[in-house]
């Protein structure tokens, strides 16, 4: 009975708003508000429209624009309906509520042959890097769904399975790698604490922690790497807290009435720091110089506009083809080339605390040359690191010897 009542209320909303929208458009077509305006000429070789005045066309355009602007209200209304019906996912829109209450998308099952190809591409890359006299490290970043059984019944979870198959090949071929998922499990870190509820990405505090774990691993891979344990101490950071600010990518599919809103925290170093941040491949070359906040934080993305603003991109402004970061204060004079995915938006600023230079390439966007060519043309690089989460297992991100467009 309760579900029927909710369904009736929802249908009434649909009929009401649909009727209002239809009447607005009908009035525009009939020119009832602007009937005194001059008509356009008949449709001929000039491609003009018969029977409409220019003001009516503008009115139609404005009405459509208004309705598109109200699309977010429709999403929220639908989310309220789905919540009332107890729905836990949508196959077409690809969102699911995990058993722990978090929202996530699904992963496709990748064939063994495809996974083997990607894994061997990593193996060949590691061999190439080592022949160039550089260090190599593959980093498996975590998935929000950390273990089997977190998705609703009937929804398979292939993300971690796909990643595991790649790591098996790397282990057989003795490739240097680390699995952040394993460390999180050993430290009993829960996804409800480490990830945003409405987005697939980790929180900045988790990225800060991961940067410290990667630094520890790099001290084993690179004999000249100097770790800085003090950078892992949260007491050395000032937390800026924003309540109910962030509606993540998955939350945008179903609306805040269903998903809720995430809090967002920025962790700003208290200790002395100075950076130079560059994006040489941007449409307009970007360079920011200053402290951590000046170099990495994009304040416009802290505006409370859930459907239009990507709050996660407050760090570094989002994904970019190439980034170059120079730390002017640290004594660790090493240069990392990081092959990145979107998890590195928050990772790069904290990893940059540990070393002199971090250069990043996002192979989804970088099309100037192959990764092999880039490494050969930049002898200053000391370590090549590939850091991917399971959703990054795609041809474009695992092809290193040529540009995939």
pLDDT band at residue 50 using 50, 70 and 90 as cut-offs: very low
User: For 129, phi and psi rounded to 5 degrees?
Assistant: -60, -45
CB atoms within 10 A of CB 218: 27
| Confidence (pLDDT) at 20 | 43
Whether residues 142 and 45 share a domain: the answer is no
Last residue of a domain, one of 84, 103, 122: 103
The alpha carbon torsion through 270, 275, 281, 285 (nearest 10 deg) reads 100
Asked if residue 382 belongs to a domain, the reply is yes
Asked if residue 216 belongs to a domain, the reply is yes
Q: For 152-165, what is each residue's pLDDT tens digit?
A: 988 888 999 999 99
Q: For 316-339, what is each residue's pLDDT tens digit?
A: 999 999 999 999 999 889 999 999
Average pLDDT over residues 117-124: 98
Whether residues 82 and 140 share a domain: the answer is no
Average pLDDT over residues 16-23: 43
Q: Which of 67, 69, 97 is nearest to 253 (CA)?
A: 97
Last residue of a domain, one of 76, 103, 130: 103
Query: What is the value of pTM for the model shown?
Result: 0.84
| Confidence (pLDDT) at 85 | 86
Q: For 279-310, what is each residue's pLDDT tens digit?
A: 987 666 789 999 999 999 999 999 999 999 99
CA distance 168 to 1: 52
Contact call for residues 359 and 378 (beta carbons, < 8 A): yes
Asked if residue 402 belongs to a domain, the reply is no
Q: How many domains does the chain have?
A: 2
| Confidence (pLDDT) at 39 | 32
| Confidence (pLDDT) at 1 | 55
Asked if residue 400 belongs to a domain, the reply is no
Whether residues 303 and 326 share a domain: the answer is yes
Asked if residue 403 belongs to a domain, the reply is no
**CA dist 332 → 123, 161, 209, 329, 382 (Å):** 28, 36, 19, 9, 12
Whether residues 265 and 388 share a domain: the answer is yes
Whether residues 263 and 355 share a domain: the answer is yes
Whether residues 266 and 281 share a domain: the answer is yes
| Confidence (pLDDT) at 73 | 82
Asked if residue 339 belongs to a domain, the reply is yes
Asked if residue 399 belongs to a domain, the reply is no
| Confidence (pLDDT) at 37 | 35
Whether residues 153 and 198 share a domain: the answer is yes
CB atoms within 10 A of CB 221: 16
* pLDDT top residue among 254 and 13: 254
Contact call for residues 316 and 296 (beta carbons, < 8 A): yes
Q: What would the 3-class secondary structure string for 23-55 be?
A: HHHHHHHHCCCCCCCCECCCCCCCCCCCCCEHH
* pLDDT top residue among 18 and 131: 131
Whether residues 92 and 182 share a domain: the answer is no
Whether residues 93 and 126 share a domain: the answer is no
Whether residues 237 and 363 share a domain: the answer is yes
Whether residues 116 and 98 share a domain: the answer is no
Last residue of a domain, one of 103, 129, 147: 103
Asked if residue 404 belongs to a domain, the reply is no
Whether residues 53 and 166 share a domain: the answer is no
Could you list the residue range(s) of the whole structural domain that residue 373 is in?
Answer: 108-392
Contact call for residues 175 and 128 (beta carbons, < 8 A): no
């Amino acid at each position: 009975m309760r579900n029927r009542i909710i369904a009736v209320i929802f249908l009434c909303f649909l009929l009401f708003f649909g009727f209002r929208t239809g009447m607005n458009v009908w009035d525009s077509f009939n020119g009832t508000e602007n009937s005194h305006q001059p008509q356009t000429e008949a449709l001929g070789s000039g491609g003009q429209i018969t029977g409409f005045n220019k003001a009516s066309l503008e009115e139609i355009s404005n009405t459509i624009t208004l309705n598109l602007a109200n699309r977010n209200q429709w999403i929220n209304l639908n989310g309220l309906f789905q919540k009332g019906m107890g729905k836990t996912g949508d196959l077409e829109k690809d969102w699911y509520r995990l058993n722990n209450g978090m929202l996530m998308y699904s992963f496709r099952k990748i064939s063994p042959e495809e996974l083997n190809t990607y894994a061997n591409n990593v193996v060949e890359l590691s061999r190439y890097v080592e022949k160039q006299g550089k260090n190599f490290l593959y980093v498996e970043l975590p998935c929000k769904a950390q273990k089997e059984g977190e998705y609703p019944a009937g929804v398979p979870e292939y993300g971690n399975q796909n990643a595991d198959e790649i790591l098996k090949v790397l282990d057989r071929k003795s490739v240097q790698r680390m699995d952040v998922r394993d460390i999180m499990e050993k430290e009993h870190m829960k996804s409800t604490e480490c990830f945003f509820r409405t987005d697939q990405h980790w929180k900045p505090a988790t990225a800060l922690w991961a940067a410290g774990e990667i630094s520890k691993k790099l001290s084993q891979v690179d004999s000249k790497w100097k770790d800085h344990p003090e950078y892992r101490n949260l007491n050395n950071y000032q937390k800026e807290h924003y309540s109910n600010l962030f509606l993540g990518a998955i939350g945008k599919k179903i609306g805040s009435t269903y998903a809720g809103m995430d809090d967002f925290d920025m962790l700003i170093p208290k200790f002395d720091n100075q950076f130079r941040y560059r994006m040489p491949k941007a449409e307009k070359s970007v360079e920011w110089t200053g402290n951590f906040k000046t170099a990495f934080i994009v304040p416009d993305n802290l505006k409370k506009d859930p459907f239009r603003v990507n709050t996660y991109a407050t760090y570094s402004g989002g994904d970019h083809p190439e980034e170059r970061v120079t730390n002017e204060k640290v004594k660790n004079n090493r240069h990392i080339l990081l092959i990145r995915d979107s998890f590195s938006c928050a990772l790069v600023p904290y990893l940059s605390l540990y070393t002199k230079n971090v250069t990043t390439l996002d192979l989804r966007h970088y099309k100037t040359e192959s990764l092999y060519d880039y490494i050969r043309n930049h002898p200053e690089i000391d370590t090549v690191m590939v850091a991917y989460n399971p959703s990054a297992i795609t041809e474009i991100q695992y092809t290193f010897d040529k540009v995939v467009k």
